[in-house]
Amino acid sequence: MADRKLTFVVAEDEERMRDYLARKTVELDPNLECAGTAADGEEAVELVERHLPDLLITDIKMPVLGGLELVKRIRTTNPDVRILIISGYSEFEYARRAIELGVDDYIVKPVDVLALQETLRRIRIRLEALAGSIEAEFGLDRIGSREKDLADAVELYLKENYRLPYSLGQLAARFGCKAAYLLRLYRRIKGSTPTQDLIRLRIEKAKRLLSGHSQMEVKQVAAAVGYEDALYFSRLFKKETGKNPTAFRDSMGR
């Protein structure tokens, strides 16, 4: 376990603080690797469902979906993720509510480096104590044809229904299982998560629409592949392809 890279996600709306936390966390614990950063709570949910990180570092006050609501959402799909809240809100009520939601620790801004280092050390101890128990808990140490059939059915459903509104909880309910189980089972068999595969499907469809239908506006392309928020779609598209939708379309026209 000591040699295994553990992953974390940072959710923080302020860019400098977001970059600082991602960089400083790796400096303080080289065995931690940043799987991604998010500027709002919805983006954080997507990252956690996509990468299944060991640790989530999140602010309380963020646009779209606040930190405490984010924690509630995360707990339904990834109950074993360790959570560290870092915020300017020092009121006891926030700390109490965070603890009730199963947050591992709570650090107030400005961040004290020694406090962060000690907190990361405690979280690592908890992660190491948990290692090896999750597979057995979810029954994933016994994978058979039934489990593979379930993963195949989920994969097919995503291919046929990529345009529909998506949440991991709704997907799991459709197949009669818990979100946390489905998430781990799918990754164990497919080597990816349902969220990863859905994003890949949607981006590929979007690329075809952008290159083959010049009359379509970006917001129309976004809606056609399942994203109501065109700005979020554009950020995600650039993250996946290295170009925003307009730049990608221009490059295809050359």
Nearest-angstrom CA–CA distance, 151 and 47? 20
With a cut of 70, say whether residue 177 has pLDDT above it: yes
pLDDT attached to residue 2: 46
Q: Residue 9 — φ and ψ, nearest 5°?
A: -125, 140
What is the per-residue pLDDT across 56-78, written as a single tens digit (0 to 9) for each? Answer: 999 888 877 877 888 888 887 78
User: Closest by alpha carbon to 210, among 244, 166, 160, 239?
Assistant: 244
Q: Percentage of the chain surpassing pLDDT 90?
A: 36
Looking at domain 197-252, its CATH class is mainly alpha
One DSSP character per residue, 93-125 reads HHHHHHHHTT-SEEEESSPPHHHHHHHHHHHHH
Sign, Cα dihedral of 184, 3, 118, 109: negative
Q: How far apart are CA 1 and CA 14, in angstroms?
A: 33
Question: Quick one: average pLDDT of 214-235?
Answer: 92
Report d(CA 208, CA 75) in Å as an integer. Answer: 36
Q: Are 169 and 77 in contact (CB under 8 A)?
A: yes
pLDDT at 76: 79
Length of the chain: 254
Query: Distance between terminal CA atoms of the chain?
Result: 50
pLDDT of 129: 67
pLDDT at position 3 over 70: no
What does the radius of gyration of the chain's CA atoms come to, in whole angstroms?
19
- 169-175, Cβ contacts within 8 angstroms, sequence gap of 24 or more: 169/76, 169/77, 175/150
Give residue limits of the domains in the chain. 6-131, 136-192, 197-252
pLDDT score of 1: 43
Predicted confidence (pLDDT) per residue in 14-46, tens digit: 999 999 999 999 999 998 999 999 988 888 988
The share of the chain scoring above pLDDT 70, in percent, equals 89
What's residue 162's pLDDT?
93
Q: Are 66 and 41 in contact (CB under 8 A)?
A: yes
**What is the CATH architecture of 6-131?**
3-Layer(aba) Sandwich (3.40)
pLDDT value of position 142: 63
pLDDT at 139 over 70: no
Task: Give dist(CA 128, CA 93) in Å, integer.
Answer: 30
Region 225-242: what's the mean pLDDT? 91
Q: What pLDDT does residue 9 have? A: 95
Q: Are 151 and 190 within 8 A, CB to CB?
A: yes
pLDDT in tens, 74-112: 887 787 888 998 887 766 677 677 777 778 888 888 888
